[in-house]
Each structure stands twice: as C-alpha cells, then as structure tokens.
Structure 1
Amino acid sequence: MDSTMSTCDSELESHSGGIDLTSKKPRQSANVATVCKGFLTTYEEYCSHTSLHGVQYLGDHQRPMRERIFWLCAFLISIYGCATLISSAYTKWTETPVIVSFAEKSTPVWNIPFPAITVCSETKRVLKPKGEETSFADLYSQFNIEMRSSRVFKPQNITALEMEEFRTLLHVCNTQLIDQAMPLISGDDVDYFDVLERMLPQFDRYFFYCRWLSRFGECDKFFRKTLTEEGICYTFNGLSATDIYREDTYQYRYSAGALDMENISSHSAWSLETGYDVESDVVTYPARVLSAGARSGIFLALQSFKQEVDYACRGPVQGFKVLLHAPDDVPQVSKQFVRIPMGKEVLIAVKPSMITTSSGIAEYHPLRRQCFLSHERALRFFKIYTESNCQLECLANFTLTKCGCVKFSMPRNMDMPVCGEDKIYCYDRAERQLLVREFHRVKALNAERDAPRGVETACNCMPACTSLAYNTEISQANFDLEEMLIAEGDTDFMKEYAGSQMSRLSIYFKQDQFITSKRSELYGITEFLANCGGIFGLFMGFSILSLVEMIYHFTLRFCTNMKHLVKVEE
C-alpha cells in the first residue's frame, strides 16, 4: 500500500505544473494521475472508516513513518497468525471430520437382536468301540511311516469311506502337524461338507436339552448347521446362508431350509443399519429379548462321551467352543471363542457394544470417516457388508492367488477349486502372509510425506459405520453330574449314557439398557466457518461485513471518487 501511494504521489508531482489539453501524451499521463489520486483518496477513506484493527493507522499521513511501519508489521503478523491457525483448522476438518462419542440416550436390549451363538464340539468324528474302527492317530501314524519310505500311502484294512474321513480330518484336526512336504493322496475328489456331515456326532446326544425364553424345547428347532474352518458347527439366531451369501456361492446352494424358529416368527426385514421395523412384533427373527437376566436368555446342556473322544485329532483340551457374534456375521470360530470345558457350569453375561451413525457423515468419503455404509462396499460372495465378512472374503481371494485353491470352509463360487491335502500347509500360512502384506502396505503409505490419515489397504476392509459386538463376562462352577445322579439314586441315566460328560451353559444380557456410541461430525462446514470467523475476529476484528466493506470501497466508492475527480479536472 505504501509503495502504491509513493508511485501515485510521484505521478501527481510530475504533472502538477499544468496539462496541455491539445497534446495526447500529457492527457494520458493526466489519466494515470487521476487514477492514482482516486485510489489514494479511496484508500484513505477506507483506512479511516474500516472496522479492521490497526488499518486506520496505515492511512494516516500525519503519523510518523516509524509508527506506520510498526502497525504494518503488526498487521502482517496478525495475517500470518490467522493463516497458520486456519490451515490447522482446515487440516483437522479434512483429516478428522468424524468423532465417536456416547449417544445422548441409552438403548434398550429389545432394540437389538440377541447374539448369534455358534457352538462347535471338539469331537469331530465319533469313534466306535476299540477294535472296530481305526482312529485318526493310527491312520496318521501309518500315513507318516509309508510316506517317509515310499512317498505312497496304501493304507491296510480300511474302507474307502474311512479313507475319505481321514482325508477330511486332515483339514480339521491339528494342522500344525502337517509340513510342506505333504503330498496329494490319490483318489477321487472329496466333498468335505458331505463327509463332515456323515461323521457328525448325533445332535440330540451332544445338545442334550435347551431352554429359550423360559420355554424348554428340542434344540434342533433353534440351531442350524454352519460350515466353519473347524468343521460343521451349530448356530443359534444367525441369518441363514441365503440371507448372507450371494446366489452363485457354494454356501448358498447347500444351505438348509428354514428353522421352526423362523417359521413361527414374523420374519421382519432386519438390518444392522435400520434395525427392526417399527411395526414388527415381539416375536421376530433374528430373535430378541425384552429384558436382561438368565430367564430371558438361552440355557444349554452340552454333553460329550469319554469313549468317543479322539485326542490325536483335537488335542488334550476337549469340550466345546462357543462364539458370540452379530446375526449377519459369518462365524470364524478359530479367531475368538469361549471355551466350555466338560464338568462345568458356565454363565456368560453379555454386554452389547454398538456404534451407530448420524446422517451428516454420509456426505464424507469413506476414507475420511474411516467406515463404510452398507451400499458403499460391495462384496463378491456376501450380500451383507461387515468387516468380518470382508476380511474372510479377502483371505479367500488371497488364498486362491497363493495356492490356486481355497479351503473347504471359505466362501467360494462353484467354479473355484478346493484345496486338497497337499495344500494344507499353503492355506494354513496364507492368513499370516496376508496380514504381513497388509502391515507392510500400511507402513509404506504412512511413511509417505503426503499420505492421508485414511489409508486404503489391499483388502480395503474398514469397519461398517454401524456395527454391533457382544462383550462377555464369564463365570463358572463345577458341575458334577455323576455325583448328583448317585445322590438322587438315578442309575438309569448313566447306563443309557455311559461315559457321559456334561456341562451347562447359560447366555443372557447383563443389563436392560446399554449405552451406544455414535459416529457424528466433529467438524462440519458450519463448525469450520465458525472457527475461521473466531480466528479472524481474535486477530483482526474481521467479519463478513468487513469483507463487504473492503469490496465496497475499492469498487463502488472508487468509481464515485474517480467521477468526482474527472469533473473537477474538466
């Protein structure tokens, strides 16, 4: 501003001695002088009337130059401070626009489904009385001896069905025993699901009885078979395969029919994002409960038999594995489970953990809010997006790339090959290789100077914006069935169920209400503008009207001053 004023002052002084109206060049110089004089007049008016702090001192010619320089420096420092803080606010707005905080109100437990419960027995194959059937340990020992000597496995005195069972057990037993040199056993392709189903222990012997919502009933009305990485398990209150998987998948094609529990209930269109329909009845599927406590939960009596346990297959720890998960999640039992040992009564008090989403964050890019809405991330094998389903699909795709096949339990379409025995070592280590790949990718992206806060991994499996998890509190006590029967004088049970080992399991909500978390805007456009306005006001006293004032003086007021000067000169 001072340099412009000096230029205009020198221009005015050079033409102050008079102007020849008949000469073209002096007339052009006179126009420049008029413009400069008009600018100076406007500038002085602006400085004397502006609401910006400190600017009025810059246009006061009566003040000493050192004071004007002081106020110019103060003004520039204020502009620098504003720019720095606004840049920081903009970075915060772009990189962390979403905050997860507690919701304003608590949520009743009837607003969410009761957890889906997947129960897996450690007994994968019922052994017949000793001498009538070869155990997994005998077959594996014979297999190792023959493979070391001739690389050919020709088992003696076993049927073709037992050979299929042995090949299947290699995939669900202790795979840590299998090394990279495992060959493909000759024979026809095995449908592992059919073989596992054939070996499956009798359901009503292992699920002795159950009680749901204080009503005793047959357990098979509530549980459906589920194919997992540890074989066939049973799931309560989970969505059916036809609701989770796409039509071209193996799991969809071989899904079982509807449960009695589904047929007697009003099958409402439940989803995690929208919840239950407002018009849905008390009886729904997935099922829900109206209160907390053991009387409003599920109670199971689980049973196994000492003579049917094959310790060589699953190791020394026997009993059941139980996984609690959302109804639309595919259970992955080996990742996270609760152990139910035999001869114990186990109580599981459930504390839900739910994250909901405000409508405002839908406008943000998924990388900025660090989550996916249900329609933003389509999966190849699943109809429903969850982080767990996405990770399972990514593992299946990675395993197919690394090994040329997938494990029998992985989601797949009908054309994808299933890994044989020679690929057990490969797919067993594919999961760690995938995690290592993801780790190095994120590390490399974060090392880049301009890397954004949200980094898209190869799997791209960010959490769903609305998610539901079930945390647990577990307590247990001894449950001695044999001593109880002796005390009651009941000997018939022990004769009918010789070698019985029983445990009891009770699962229920701990409290009637729980506090949900909510993803909402931390910095919307309103908050960003308010923050910028506060910074400008703090440093300079700047507002929207200050901007209007500046535009007014150097447009409308400048034109008015120019017209006035032209008239005076004429």
Structure 2
Amino acid sequence: METNLSSADESGMEHINNNVCIDLTTKNHAKSLSTSSRLVKTLTCTYQEYCQQSSIHGVQYLGEKQRPIKERVFWLSVFVVSIYCCARLINSAYTKWDATPVIVSFAERSTPVWNIPFPAVTICSETKRVLKKSGDHNSYASLYNQFTDAMHATKIFKPQNITAKEMEEFRTLLHVCNTQIIEQDMPLIPGEDIDYYDILKRMLPPFERYFFYCRWLSRYNECDKYFHQTLTEEGICYTFNGLRPSQIYRENTYQYHNSAGENITNSSWSLEMGYEPSSDVDTFPARVLSAGARSGIFMALQSFKQEVDYACRGPVQGFKVFVLLHAPDDVPQVSKQFVRIPMGREVLIAIKPNMITTSTGIAEYHPQRRQCFLSHERLLRFFKIYSEANCQLECLANFTLNKCGCVKFSMPRTLDMPVCSEEKIHCYDRAERDLLVHEFQYVRMLNVAGDELPKGAESACNCLPACTSLVYNTEISQANFDLEEMLAAEGDTDFMREYPGSQMSRLSIYFKESQFITSKRSELYGITEFLANCGGIFGLFMGFSILSMVELLYHFTLRFGVNLKHLFKVDS
C-alpha cells in the first residue's frame, strides 16, 4: 500500500535532492533497487555529500561527478602522499615521546648551601692495627711471608710460635690488606669461624690518636660527636655527618644489629623532601650557612712511622678520604673512589654540589622510560633508602652469595648469611669483575636485540639512578706541611717526645660557593605536547582538526543512517 511521506521527511529528502541524491527520491526507481543496492546507493550519496561539505583540503575534488578522472587521480595521489607524510612525522613524534619523555635541565633559581647537608666524609687510615710491642711489626711481616710461601707451595699454613689471638688478627688482615696476591689455590688456614668485625674493632687505633685535632664551624675539638665507626671493605673507618647504620639498613641485617644500641640522633632531612621547615641551624645531618674554609671542617690527621705496615698496605701510607664525599644516606665504598691524604701534606677540598630534583609530572612515567627510580618504586632487601650506590652494593652481595656461597665481611647481609673465609678471598674478588662483565653483556644484547632479548638474558642489578640525587664534586689542592720544621721554629721540643715518630697532615673541606644551580628532571614531551605536535602536522598537510574528525564520524554514522532510513521508507 502506497503512503505519503511526512512533511519533515519531504523536507529532508528535498535537501538531498538539492545536492547529489536526486535519483533516490524517485519512488519507482527506489522500489526497484535491492537491499544491497540501496546500501551502496546510500553510501555513495553520503560519500558525495561529505566530499562537498568536508573541511579537509582537497577532499571536495574527489567527490565531484563532473570532475575529469585525471584531476581526481591527481588529487587522490596528493591526498595519499599527505597522509603518508603525516603518518611518518607522527610516528617520529611518538617515538620521541616514548623514548625520551624526560629532560634534565637547570632550575630557574639557585639553591643556598644551607638547603642541603654538609657531605658525609669517610676517612680510613692505612694503619689497620696498633703495634702492641717492639718487634710486633716484624712478626706480622714474617707471618705474611710464611703465608705467601705456603700459598705458592699449596700447603696447609701452620705457623709456629703464634697465639690464637695473633692468628685471628692475621686472618682478618688478609681480607683488608693487599688481596691481589691471593690465588685461587691458596693454602688452608685451620681455625674456627671468626667475627671479622669484632677483630677489626680490637685492632682499631684510638680515634684521638690519629684524629689529632679537629675544628667544625669554628668550634674546636667537637668533631668526635659527629664521627661514627663505619664498616667498609677496607676495615673500620670513621664517617663524619653520615646516617647511622640503623638508619640506613633494615632491621634483619647484620649492620643494623651491630648498631642497634647506639645513641641515634633523629634525622630531620631526607633526600627527596630536604630539611623539615621547622629544623634549626644545628640539626642532623649537619649543615653550614656559607661557603669558605671557616664554615667547613678542618682536621689534623696523625700517624706514626714505627706503625707503618708496608707488608699490609704497600709503599703508600697515609689516609683515604672517600671522594665525591657521599650523601649522608649512602654507604661509602672506599676502595672504588677516594682522595689520598699523604703524610706531610696539607690538602684542601673545595666542594661543588650537584643536585638533581624531580618534578611531579614525571611520576606517571614508567621508570624505564624516565631512566630513574622514585624512592618508593625500588625497594631494597638490605637498605631502607634507595640510591644507585646502595642498590649496586646489594646487587654485588647477592651475586657474590650465588657465586661463592658466602659474602665478604663488609657486604650487607642478614644475620644467617655465611661470611667468606680466607680461602674465598679470590672468589669474592673475582665475583665483582664477573658481575661487571654480566651487566656489560646484558646492555650489549639490549642494544642489539632491543625488546626481543634471548631467553634467560636479564640484568642482575637493575640499578637505575635515583630520580632525586645529590653528589658532591671536588676541587683539590695540596701544599707541603713540615711538622718538624714548624716545631723547631716555634721552639717546641715536647711534642716529639710525647708523640715519637709522629707525622702529620692537615685536611680542610668546605663549600666553594654559597649558592649553586640545581638540575631538575621534568617532562620534555608530555601528552599535551604530543597531541599539539600531531595537530600541527595534520593541520599543515591536510587542514585537519578535531572538528574534521567529528564531521567525518557524523557523515558516515548519523548522516548515513538518516539517508538510509529515507530510502527504505519509500516502500511503506
């Protein structure tokens, strides 16, 4: 039965008639079409309407029936080339956004030195033990020679006329003296397991004997309250202004257990948050208010000629100061980077801080994309505080445990973790090099294979830098310091009688400038910049915008449905 179209429908069809779909209004023609033909006709109609009304450049030429085929092919080619160029450039923009979303740039304002703590200074004397009697030096050198002879003969080391206490000290010194001579097939040293930390403390020279004089912030001989003993790979050293082991290590570690009874000063500082707003000038970790030697630490370091042990530490004697004077929450690794303080010298160390802070925007990125860890993202097994140095030390301890079945006495460990004895010295020394080789091979495979790494290939450490970091760079100058000539000029004859064989050095550490420029990790290419770049590329090549996309969706969804509805209504 034939029905009349409503006035609204007729109005809509009249709009179509006035454009491109004239043949669809003829009822007889429309009724003669099959369903598939009607769909094709409606799609063609909608396409031509879109081409006529689109805001995208060049599209209107593709839908004109009267346009010669050569012109339409030309504009189609131009349109395809434009799309290709857009795709290439947007892919390049996406790669940049994905690979390098973060940039490290200078902060807008300088930072005063009182916003950061004075660096932690770890000082290690090359003298590892105090000689108890005359001839004691020769007895230890004789033991060392006997051990070397036994090592080359691959026999059991059984020295004569030595007490159990002296044997414990000799076994401990093997771990902190020159270990380069230790071979894989070393002689077996009979004896029970010992606590190397306790033996080192027993042999440790008195603090006031070697740290002869100290001045901190124009206050004399108060430095000892800022120093504490630190277990390092070279024995027990003294750290100034560093956090205590119980503040750095977790409760289940050997280091925490040994320092649990210490009188701990609560820290008012953290690397990410800085000092608390309410903290006063005198705080912990300590800080200074200005630059210059008067606002730093000054020390006179003393050793004695008769206590120099060349069999243990070799021809170079004096003190080691951990270079890059570490942040208070870092564990010092003295054997890797240090400034040597020779005897008879005055050494001045001017500090230039290098601090990197973090903007809030980069927290949304994955650590591998921004190439750093926030403090809560990488939890360590032995440490409360994440830093790249702490992570690497923990990684070395785990790697050594897997390779040797034990760890070096100075490595972070749990209470039940075995400690390597003397026959494992070569193994844990070798483990450090093997770890470096493993990490190098992993990085090399990552650069070659990209994301498709071979099965089983993985990093042993995954120690990215901390997003917020603090490093103290140094400028060092030296001059001669002749103690005997100075005492002779002053007419002081009592000092050398009280301290026979004394040889002295002076050390001064201070900030070079009162202000420094910090760096800041921030977004180089965020989602806003990426979308703006894509919009600029589309606009340049095609005149495309968000409204152009809405227009495209409108014509091939809502408009297409309306046209199809009108075409099928002619049957009713």
Shift of 1:429: 1.2
CA contact (8 A) 2:57 2:543 kept: yes
Distance of aligned partners of 1:397 and 1:562 in 2 relative to their CA distance in 1, 3 Å threshold: closer
Instruction: Please tell me the residue identity of whatever aligns with 2:351.
Output: V
- 2: CA distance between counterparts of 1:469 and 1:152? 47
- 1: CA distance between counterparts of 2:139 and 2:430? 27
CA contact (8 A) 1:242 1:252 kept: yes
Other-structure match for 2:493: 491
CA contact (8 A) 1:533 1:543 kept: yes
Does 1:250 pair with 2:251? no
Where do residues 298-309 of structure 1 align in structure 2 (5 Å cutoff)?
298-309=297-308
Other-structure match for 2:407: 406
Distance of aligned partners of 1:350 and 1:148 in 2 relative to their CA distance in 1, 3 Å threshold: closer
CA distances 1:491-526 after superposition (whole Å, capped 9, x unpaired):
101111111111110101111111111111112111
CA contact (8 A) 1:207 1:219 kept: no
Other-structure match for 1:375: 376
2:559 to 544, 550, 557: 557
Does 1:278 pair with 2:280? no
CA contact (8 A) 1:209 1:218 kept: no
- 2: CA distance between counterparts of 1:33 and 1:397? 73
Distance of aligned partners of 1:398 and 1:33 in 2 relative to their CA distance in 1, 3 Å threshold: closer
CA distances 1:98-124 after superposition (whole Å, capped 9, x unpaired):
111111111111111110000000011
CA contact (8 A) 1:229 1:333 kept: yes
- Partner of 2:530, secondary structure, is helix
Other-structure match for 2:114: 110
Distance of aligned partners of 1:493 and 1:61 in 2 relative to their CA distance in 1, 3 Å threshold: same
Distance of aligned partners of 1:501 and 1:350 in 2 relative to their CA distance in 1, 3 Å threshold: same
Distance of aligned partners of 1:111 and 1:249 in 2 relative to their CA distance in 1, 3 Å threshold: same
Other-structure match for 1:524: 526
Shift of 1:463: 0.7
Does 1:315 pair with 2:311? no
- 2: CA distance between counterparts of 1:63 and 1:520? 53
CA contact (8 A) 2:442 2:458 kept: no
Shift of 1:415: 0.7
Does 1:208 pair with 2:212? yes
Deviates more, 1:135-144 or 1:370-379: 135-144
Instruction: Please tell me the residue identity of whatever aligns with 1:162.
Output: E
Could you tell me which runs of 5 or more consecutive residues in structure 2 were left unpaired when the two chains were aligned. 1-19
- 2: CA distance between counterparts of 1:417 and 1:62? 89
- 2: CA distance between counterparts of 1:132 and 1:525? 71
- 2: CA distance between counterparts of 1:330 and 1:62? 81
- 2: CA distance between counterparts of 1:54 and 1:132? 97
Shift of 1:39: 2.9
Where do residues 354-369 of structure 1 align in structure 2 (5 Å cutoff)?
354-369=355-370
- Partner of 2:300, secondary structure, is strand
- 1: CA distance between counterparts of 2:451 and 2:413? 38
Could you tell me which runs of 5 or more consecutive residues in structure 1 were left unpaired when the two chains were aligned. 1-8, 20-25
Does 1:391 pair with 2:392? yes
Residues paired across the two proteins, number = 546
Does 1:538 pair with 2:537? no
Shift of 1:129: 5.2
Shift of 1:337: 0.6
- Partner of 1:477, secondary structure, is strand
Other-structure match for 2:10: none
CA contact (8 A) 1:481 1:502 kept: yes
RMSD value, Cα: 2.3
Does 1:463 pair with 2:465? yes
Shift of 1:128: 4.3
The TM-score, its normalising length taken from structure 1, stands at 0.91
1:515 to 508, 514, 517: 517
Other-structure match for 1:236: 240
CA contact (8 A) 1:494 1:500 kept: yes
- 1: CA distance between counterparts of 2:235 and 2:377? 32
- Partner of 1:103, secondary structure, is strand
Distance of aligned partners of 1:43 and 1:140 in 2 relative to their CA distance in 1, 3 Å threshold: same
Does 1:348 pair with 2:352? no
- 2: CA distance between counterparts of 1:196 and 1:449? 48
- 2: CA distance between counterparts of 1:177 and 1:382? 33
- 2: CA distance between counterparts of 1:378 and 1:473? 34
Other-structure match for 1:289: 288
Where do residues 139-218 of structure 1 align in structure 2 (5 Å cutoff)?
139-146=143-150, 151-218=155-222
- Partner of 1:66, secondary structure, is helix
Distance of aligned partners of 1:87 and 1:133 in 2 relative to their CA distance in 1, 3 Å threshold: closer
- 1: CA distance between counterparts of 2:326 and 2:32? 84
Shift of 1:156: 2.1
Distance of aligned partners of 1:349 and 1:456 in 2 relative to their CA distance in 1, 3 Å threshold: farther
- Partner of 2:395, secondary structure, is helix
- 1: CA distance between counterparts of 2:269 and 2:329? 10
CA contact (8 A) 1:98 1:522 kept: yes
CA contact (8 A) 2:154 2:187 kept: no
Other-structure match for 2:55: 51
- 1: CA distance between counterparts of 2:240 and 2:297? 10
Other-structure match for 1:442: 443
Other-structure match for 2:89: 85
Instruction: Please tell me the residue identity of whatever aligns with 1:399.
Output: T
CA contact (8 A) 1:136 1:313 kept: no
- Partner of 1:515, secondary structure, is strand
CA contact (8 A) 2:157 2:188 kept: no
- 1: CA distance between counterparts of 2:125 and 2:348? 18
Distance of aligned partners of 1:494 and 1:27 in 2 relative to their CA distance in 1, 3 Å threshold: same
Instruction: Please tell me the residue identity of whatever aligns with 2:511.
Output: F
Shift of 1:31: 4.3
Sequence identity (%): 74
Shift of 1:90: 1.3
- 2: CA distance between counterparts of 1:17 and 1:160? 116
The TM-score, its normalising length taken from structure 2, stands at 0.91
Distance of aligned partners of 1:520 and 1:409 in 2 relative to their CA distance in 1, 3 Å threshold: same
Other-structure match for 2:5: none
Other-structure match for 1:221: 225
CA contact (8 A) 1:183 1:421 kept: no
Deviates more, 1:86-95 or 1:399-408: 86-95
